[in-house]
Amino acid sequence: MAKRVEATGVTAYYGSFKAIDNINLSVEPKTVTALIGPSGCGKSTFLRSINRMHEVLPGARVEGKLTIDSENIYDKDVDVTAVRRMIGMVFQRPNPFPTMSIFDNVVAGLKLNGVRRKSVLEDAAEKALRSANLWDEVKDRLGKPGAGLSGGQQQRLCIARTIAVEPQVVLMDEPCSALDPISTLAIEDLMFKLKDRYTIIIVTHNMQQAARVSDRTAFFSIERTGDPGRLIEYDSTQKIFSNPGQKKTEDYITGRFG
Amino acid sequence: MADRHSRSADVNTGGPGVTSSHARPVGATASTGVLDGRSGGDAPVPPDFRHNGGALGGGGSLPRRKGFGAENAFRGLTLAAGTMVLVIIVAITVFLIARAVPALQANEANFLTTKEWYATQTPPQFGIAALVWGTVVTAVIALLVAVPIALGIALCLSHYAHKRIATILGFLIDLLAAVPSVVYGLWGVMVFINPVKDFSVWLNKYFSWLPFFSGEAPYGRSLLLGGLVLAIMVLPIVTSLSREVFMQTPTANEEAALALGATKWEMIRTAVIPYGRPGVIASVMLGLGRALGETIALAMTLGFLNVISLDVISNGGNSIAANIANGFGEANEIGRGALIASGLVLFTITLIVNMIARAIIYRRREFTESAA
């Protein structure tokens, strides 16, 4: 259910602009890893290159090696869609499909995989919604539009949609930045719960959040605007926030920079 | 048709009203500012911070509300424009009905079921059955052919083609809409008729077991030709509107589908097409409106036989609008009234079509509204 993610020399470009340079980082299964750093330091770019969503943008490309349990997802003969099925993603802004009901949103990924049996879909939807702590709130209105939920509920709906296909790894790109504190708390609780089954990598601007939810933290930074982002320090969250090894990390987490 | 009316009405009332009411007060305050400056304490001071010594909140007494200002003038103007639409519609309807009724009373045949149209002879005998048939069949052929192609082009332009190529192609498609319908008619009856003739022979040879293609020669000036010419005319309408809505699909939704492991086509099916569906329906209805109302292209390409038959390849066929165009010149009083009556029927058909479209969109409103 959960796999190990290992990046070796990952470099990502937008056209000719190098966004991240030579990232080496290894994420253990069933842990939460937080990526922190100032805006534009490439943490989201790195996150998006883990499930090959980076290359969706025109002109964007990735170099280097990224393995999921020793399988390089950037091998030439790898099916991109299979990679993305294995590595789910939750986005910054809740993005349920606006034309679909709550139920259809949750099972959208399963339907894409050819699952058609109603009973299978219903079971999977309930399971995913329960895992996302949303079932009790929506069980009576599964046929209503997903976009009619509150922001926090929508984001949990998106998480349900992501885990309904039973991925190995779940990537979250600032999943709480558009949410109020209570919804944020609900999502953080959810991350604790999901950690038992998935490898979770989360990008966050909120350092308290990183400290609360993650086991390990990676600090990214840039020298100045226009330079590629680099991984400055990667260690256990406790170490990073109490006794960081690098001056830059310390400056950042104490608020002296960024 | 009705949809087009309401759209253009919105543009006429909303457009000038918004721009002028914004532009006007700026000019007015600027000029009063120069002329009377701070001198007049009792003059109606516009709510402009410059007059209050730079403080936005103001220091002195509150300026009086203007009795008659640009605001009221433009509200009246837009209101008048809006009312005018209603007046025009009512006037047209009244006129049509007033002219149609005497002709219908003089008609010796059943107006709804008769196929022949002898409105100018005495006694007048005419009915719209064959005309309605021809109108609907050509429109249906046009949509059957045009909509799949148009949606294909729209998706290609919005999601597959290289950006520069898409821009050029989109421009060319829009150019198709700018060609006058009389040119389509000429081209249809002089050039396009030949391949359609050959196509009809081929259809008849292999598919004559289908009632649509069982007709005898001569082929050419048939409902098929009319429908296909209409299809080309409808194509740009459906294409450019659909392309527009497909391009508006939020990137977030497209990425959500891709991140779930969708291929490009699956992404389009999951995120793009459902999102664009109301727009596509609207574009198809606009296209249908054009197809139903198209006059001169059909007047030039159809064969003018008032028959009702499933066969679409033999010479013949007539439509309401084409019949009006061809018959109006030589019609007498009753004949004109009869043509006006047929026009009312056409109006009713487009109205019904529009209502169906709106019902379809309305039924899904919960989902489309939250999409916006």
Contact A183, A131 (CB under 8 A): no
Who's near B252: CB < 8 A, 6+ residues apart? A91, A93, A95
Q: How far is CA B278 from CA A143, B72, B257, in A?
A: 19, 37, 20
Q: How far apart are CA B84 and CA B106, in angstroms?
A: 34
Using omega within 30 degrees of 0 as the cis cutoff, is the peptide bond preceding B44 cis? no
What mean pLDDT do residues A104-110 have?
93
**CATH fold for the domain made of A5-95+169-253:** Rossmann fold (3.40.50)
The structure tokens 């997802």 sit at A73
Q: How far apart are CA A158 and CA B256, in angstroms?
A: 9
B18 pLDDT band (50/70/90 cuts)? very low
**Closest CB from B250, B261, B270 relative to A81:** B261
Dump pLDDT digits (tens) for B120-163: 888 888 999 999 999 999 999 999 999 999 999 999 999 999 88
**Which one of B249, B254, B260 makes the best mutation probe of the A interface by having the most chain A beta carbons within 10 Å?**
B260
pLDDT at B58: 62
Tell me the helix, strand and coil percentages in chain B, rounded to 5.
Answer: 70, 0, 25
> Is residue B35 classed as helix, strand or coil in its secondary structure?
helix
Chain B residues within 8 A (CB-CB) of chain A? 250, 252-253, 255-263, 266, 270-271, 274-275, 277, 364, 366-368, 370-371
The yes-or-no verdict on residue B345 having pLDDT over 70 is yes
Are B370 and A95 within 8 A, CB to CB?
Answer: no
Q: How far apart are CA B88 and CA B104, in angstroms?
A: 24
Containing H/E element for A237? Answer: helix A237-242
The overall average pLDDT reported for chain B is 81
Q: For B235, list phi and psi in degrees, rounded to 5.
A: -50, -55
User: Above 0.85 for ipTM, yes or no?
Assistant: yes
The yes-or-no verdict on residue B353 having pLDDT over 90 is no
Collect all residues of chain A within an 8 Å Cβ-Cβ radius of residue B262.
Answer: 81, 84, 112
What mean pLDDT do residues A131-146 have?
91
Lowest mean pLDDT among A83-87, B26-30, B124-128: B26-30
What letter does residue A232 receive in the DSSP assignment? E
**Closest CB from B253, B263, B266 relative to A98:** B253
CB atoms under 10 Å from CB of A45, counted, come to 25
Q: How far is CA B49 from CA B60, B103, B214, B230, in A?
A: 12, 67, 80, 59
Q: How far is CA B341 from CA A41, B3, B314, B317, B320, in A?
A: 71, 22, 28, 19, 10
Contact A231, A24 (CB under 8 A): yes
Beta strand ranges found along B40-120 (DSSP E):
117-118
**Domain boundaries of chain B, sorted by first residue:** 2-106, 125-371
For domain B125-371, say whether CATH 3.10.20.740 is its number.
no
The yes-or-no verdict on residue B370 having pLDDT over 80 is no
Contact A50, A3 (CB under 8 A): no
CB atoms under 10 Å from CB of B21, counted, come to 16
> Is residue A229 classed as helix, strand or coil in its secondary structure?
strand
Dump pLDDT digits (tens) for A164-182: 998 989 999 999 888 888 8
The overall average pLDDT reported for chain A is 90
**Domain boundaries of chain A, sorted by first residue:** 5-95+169-253
What letter does residue A218 receive in the DSSP assignment? E
Q: Which pair of tokens denotes residue B61?
A: 């007494």
Dump pLDDT digits (tens) for A46-70: 999 999 999 998 889 999 999 998 8
B31 pLDDT band (50/70/90 cuts)? very low
Residue B117 amino acid letter: W
Q: How far apart are CA B69 and CA B245, in angstroms?
A: 40
> Is residue A203 classed as helix, strand or coil in its secondary structure?
strand
**What pairs with residue A61 in β-bridges?**
A13
The yes-or-no verdict on residue B273 having pLDDT over 50 is yes
